[in-house]
Structure 1
């Protein structure tokens, strides 16, 4: 016995329980989702939840909107992972989707038809099922996020590991194709203006997608994963894509006017181009994150809330004027607000674009219509303010990809942006500059979190022929033929 102890003493001494060791789950090209059973979170539905647990089902109603039911039916595949939450009340388990199609939950279980299920295999129950620390997080990937099925893309995995999986499941997910650029989670500093150049067929447009995703997320990944993230970010407005051509102009890119085809007589309406719009989003995000506040609601979001009774119930909307009198908004088209004066006079209109410009401080109204514009402006500005305990805005990077940047007259398209694009001329930079645009927008500046990625075909025009003022503001990255591929194909 003494000999046994002597030979194995180190083994016995070292044989202590390992604490806080995470279970690492590699995704291996599979996807990760949140699924919420929030519709069954009440005590009265506990028996229904027990049936789901007994059968190891995840469920969703087939009428769930925003493509969630279709994704549940068609996008979930064998081997994908889900974490199951009971609404914002409880974190339940991590599971793996099993082979097989979806099916209908028998009506006698839910007392309602239309519920569909997928079979899963439970992997790891929550060690801390209380989601209270996550209540302030309202993004869709969190238990309190207003969604039933949400994919946790690779740009969100690090955040989900930190806030959800490590503290609540003792688990971390890793994506084989994802590489952290900085251990601190900070985004690597990229040049604000980049042009990928080279002869045709060398992958410039292909790599512009990967570069844009890297700038926004701080993650280098394979192209397949980057394309999935790219499509998501483009849909959310954090990445935009445009192709230049010979007829492309400043009015298309920044600001200009377009014919108003809704009006019977010839007249024009303001137009805001792709650069103006993405610069506005980036600036709003930058200022909100700098001031540690939540992002204000958009003009369109608040305006649509105000006119909702007109759209849904055909009821007019009353707006109280400074005098205490009220005018009624009776109809709204794409560009025009129709209203009735307090005196009963009809056939009066306000411009939605002018209203938005006044709300955003771009212009002022001094005509007699000011009495009607400004009460509505005040109402919109009040409704745009964040209410309650809203999550503070985090700094995000925005990217505009300009394909075939040298096919347009670049100096003509960029106009005064030639100056504003410089890193030291951007908002809060050492030599910050702001300009008044042709549309009257005062104090326009380019934020530091907006990046331009251009592609340039040198078979059309060499770099030497590019405007020198533009050349010195961009960093050029070359893409050239790989002749070793020819040697491989020749054997």
Structure 2
């Protein structure tokens, strides 16, 4: 293939991507294209669909018949046809986001054959030039898209032939989108580029430059083989584990269908699958559950984790029939031994040969499945107790209890604190986008909290103190429990409950909510029997207070919900004053807390994480107080040198459990505030974060590396470097330099313009200070 042929083919694909983008933006452009499809291509598409039928297929056939008869479409007519076929079948149309996703086959099935022919030749040319034949596999998806719903991009990947799919390894990746070509060495697992990406319009594309980058990187591809000798432990963390069989597509002629499932990371079942399997697939399978995927009884494929989202229909063009539904998953571990010969003698449903499509591997079967399926065939073991298993005394603890992510600004400390928190709680490393979804869910459930320290932050904010009671007409104060106190309490309750054999008690909040439900839902007053035998009446509640009427008289009085909880927990006694009203309600709550729940509802151990952003911006010795001692791992509850203290509010026996973790972030460039003192410093492990130029486009990376070298030369410290995150905000480089980098440099060097100007000299940008306008002049270097 000559350079001229390559450049011509590249331009044709880029032009097509621009054309298709116009179909997404303007239905009129799509209609005009449909009206221009040649008759021979219309006939071929009509012949293809002649023996097929389906919700979407029938609509396409109507449009094809209209066009074949020499008629023209307009928007009104197309809207009418869609409405006619969609009515009563809205669910099947839910995946089709626009008209192009419905009608793309009429345009792309035969009209894009020249592009496909070029790409096949182009991929072969790259493989031959790099001497990779027999050592790699490749895959491409054209403008029909991997989901057969149309796409405005065309991409291909070349990857190590020992990888199951390109998604599990490194790729020589080329992408055509929005009229540009982009290429580099890509890692699908975290959607990052190890080399590149290089992006340009086709007029600037040079095949030799692409080959040079790929040649420099081909050893990475050749060495990128699956790791087979390391056992991966996956805690289920109260989630479920299933088998899913794609046996209906095991025939050799269905390889293309299986490839599409793999590319989209789908698990698939037919909605008519009997014995409740399809219903279970739709309704029981939830985010975070695990599945192992087998191709019938003959081939194991991968272990996967279910992503958020509901089920949807597989487009008919993929399976050539209606009724197939999918769920999206994330591949966790490919099979290291896909051969099922040794499993043929096992016929239970959980095995590949078992007569089932979708079945749960229950807790009592996990040990057997580990021994026979997961360990020998996937290098994986599942733990049923949960991800947050706390080690008993003397056991090794995988994550340190107290860490601080430390480094100069813009290096991703806060960003990575989310990933670290999710890893501590789930014991699984995922990409950041997935971790953020998990993080938000854990935060909502109270298993992780986030707080930012500042100069006015105090012990009373963090632990215990008093605050004004804003619900009372006269000035008075009420006890306040800070974020660390509440996290320690939740972690402690979970830790102790998980050590018991009996089912967990209901929480104070749950029991209290049950008691006052008639009031909150129906407005019915609640009578509480006192020890004297008479009743007082609860008439209202707020977030903090219980309003009641005494047995005689109708004057309104209040009880504190926080005080009531302390009485229930046994950390406070109330024998005088309002004691006769607190105590019977507390006793009622205690009795209901002890009522048996389901016997299978035993509390599982969990990890809890408190993230403290900008931990050094507060007076942390004052904020932590006595916690400085309790934070140490050997001083925590059940540790060798366990310590418990009395808090300033009088609460006795306060301790920190081993399942509470602290993650702090500290900006080393912020010298306007005190650094962490030695007493606290030795109780934390410090993890450094520094600029990562590989995350940036080449020009930005070279520029940032240059100015960081100049900063280090002058400051003699890495504390003042500038992080890569400044260039990853979506702003253009000029704006970042003008509004972010230069102001930070001016702060670093006390407003000395000449020093900053010297630092920026000889970089990839021409930057100088205009003393007439008192402003910076910034231009790209020629």
Same fold, judged at TM 0.5 (above): yes
TM-superposed CA distance for 1:247, in Å, is: 1.4
Give TM-score scaled by structure 2 length. Answer: 0.43
Query: Please, what is the CA RMSD of the aligned residues?
Result: 4.7
Alpha carbons 1:295, 1:386 under 8 Å: kept? no
- Seen in structure 2, the aligned counterparts of structure 1 residues 398 and 306 have a Cα distance that, compared at 3 Å, is same
Structure 1 segment 161-176 matched on structure 2, within 5 A: none
2:524 to 315, 324, 340: 315
Alpha carbons 1:23, 1:171 under 8 Å: kept? no
- Seen in structure 2, the aligned counterparts of structure 1 residues 160 and 214 have a Cα distance that, compared at 3 Å, is farther
Q: Name the residue aligned to 1:263.
A: 472
Say how many residue pairs are matched.
Answer: 384
Alpha carbons 1:355, 1:373 under 8 Å: kept? yes
Alpha carbons 2:609, 2:663 under 8 Å: kept? yes
TM-superposed CA distance for 1:346, in Å, is: 3.1
Bigger CA radius of gyration? 2
TM-superposed CA distance for 1:445, in Å, is: 0.6
Alpha carbons 1:397, 1:451 under 8 Å: kept? yes
1:120 to 315, 325, 328: 325
Gaps of 5+ in 2: 1-242, 247-260, 288-292, 294-305, 316-322, 328-346, 351-358, 391-396, 704-782
Q: Name the residue aligned to 2:411.
A: 202
Structure 1, residues 334-353: CA drift from partner, whole Å, max 9, x if none?
32222222334532322222
Alpha carbons 2:546, 2:558 under 8 Å: kept? yes
Q: Which shifted more, 188-197 or 404-413?
A: 188-197
Q: Name the residue aligned to 1:112.
A: none
Structure 1 segment 96-135 matched on structure 2, within 5 A: 97-99=312-314, 120=325
Question: Does residue 1:369 correspond to 2:578, yes or no?
Answer: yes
SS of match in other structure, 2:601 = coil
Q: Name the residue aligned to 1:6.
A: none
Distance in 2 between residues matched to 1:329 and 1:438, nearest whole Å:
32
Question: Does residue 1:419 correspond to 2:620, yes or no?
Answer: no
Q: Name the residue aligned to 2:85.
A: none
Alpha carbons 2:466, 2:480 under 8 Å: kept? yes
Distance in 1 between residues matched to 2:657 and 2:266, nearest whole Å:
34
Q: Name the residue aligned to 1:238.
A: 447
2:538 to 309, 312, 329: 329
TM-superposed CA distance for 1:251, in Å, is: 1.1
- Seen in structure 2, the aligned counterparts of structure 1 residues 59 and 473 have a Cα distance that, compared at 3 Å, is closer
Alpha carbons 1:205, 1:403 under 8 Å: kept? yes
TM-superposed CA distance for 1:220, in Å, is: 1.5
Alpha carbons 1:284, 1:295 under 8 Å: kept? no
2:401 to 186, 192, 214: 192
Alpha carbons 2:363, 2:384 under 8 Å: kept? no
Q: Name the residue aligned to 1:87.
A: none
Structure 1 segment 133-148 matched on structure 2, within 5 A: none
Question: Does residue 1:460 correspond to 2:673, yes or no?
Answer: no
TM-superposed CA distance for 1:426, in Å, is: 0.7
Q: Name the residue aligned to 1:449.
A: 659
Q: Name the residue aligned to 2:35.
A: none
2:562 to 353, 356, 362: 353
TM-superposed CA distance for 1:484, in Å, is: 5.8
Q: Name the residue aligned to 2:142.
A: none
Alpha carbons 2:616, 2:673 under 8 Å: kept? no
TM-superposed CA distance for 1:461, in Å, is: 3.8
- Seen in structure 2, the aligned counterparts of structure 1 residues 60 and 396 have a Cα distance that, compared at 3 Å, is closer
Alpha carbons 2:505, 2:596 under 8 Å: kept? no
Q: Name the residue aligned to 1:477.
A: 687
SS of match in other structure, 2:441 = helix
Q: Name the residue aligned to 1:434.
A: 644
TM-superposed CA distance for 1:376, in Å, is: 0.5
Gaps of 5+ in 1: 1-21, 36-49, 62-67, 76-80, 82-93, 101-117, 130-141, 144-158
- Seen in structure 2, the aligned counterparts of structure 1 residues 459 and 365 have a Cα distance that, compared at 3 Å, is same
1:279 to 481, 484, 488: 488
TM-superposed CA distance for 1:476, in Å, is: 0.6
Q: Name the residue aligned to 2:438.
A: 229
Alpha carbons 2:616, 2:674 under 8 Å: kept? no
Q: Name the residue aligned to 2:592.
A: 383
1:217 to 402, 410, 426: 426
SS of match in other structure, 1:431 = coil
- Seen in structure 2, the aligned counterparts of structure 1 residues 31 and 282 have a Cα distance that, compared at 3 Å, is farther
Distance in 2 between residues matched to 1:194 and 1:31, nearest whole Å:
37
Alpha carbons 1:58, 1:120 under 8 Å: kept? no
Distance in 2 between residues matched to 1:308 and 1:257, nearest whole Å:
29
SS of match in other structure, 2:417 = helix
Q: Name the residue aligned to 2:394.
A: none
Alpha carbons 1:181, 1:220 under 8 Å: kept? no
Give TM-score scaled by structure 1 length. Answer: 0.66
- Seen in structure 2, the aligned counterparts of structure 1 residues 180 and 264 have a Cα distance that, compared at 3 Å, is farther
Distance in 2 between residues matched to 1:183 and 1:317, nearest whole Å:
43
Structure 1, residues 161-217: CA drift from partner, whole Å, max 9, x if none?
9869997xx998xxx9x9989999767521110001010111111111111111111
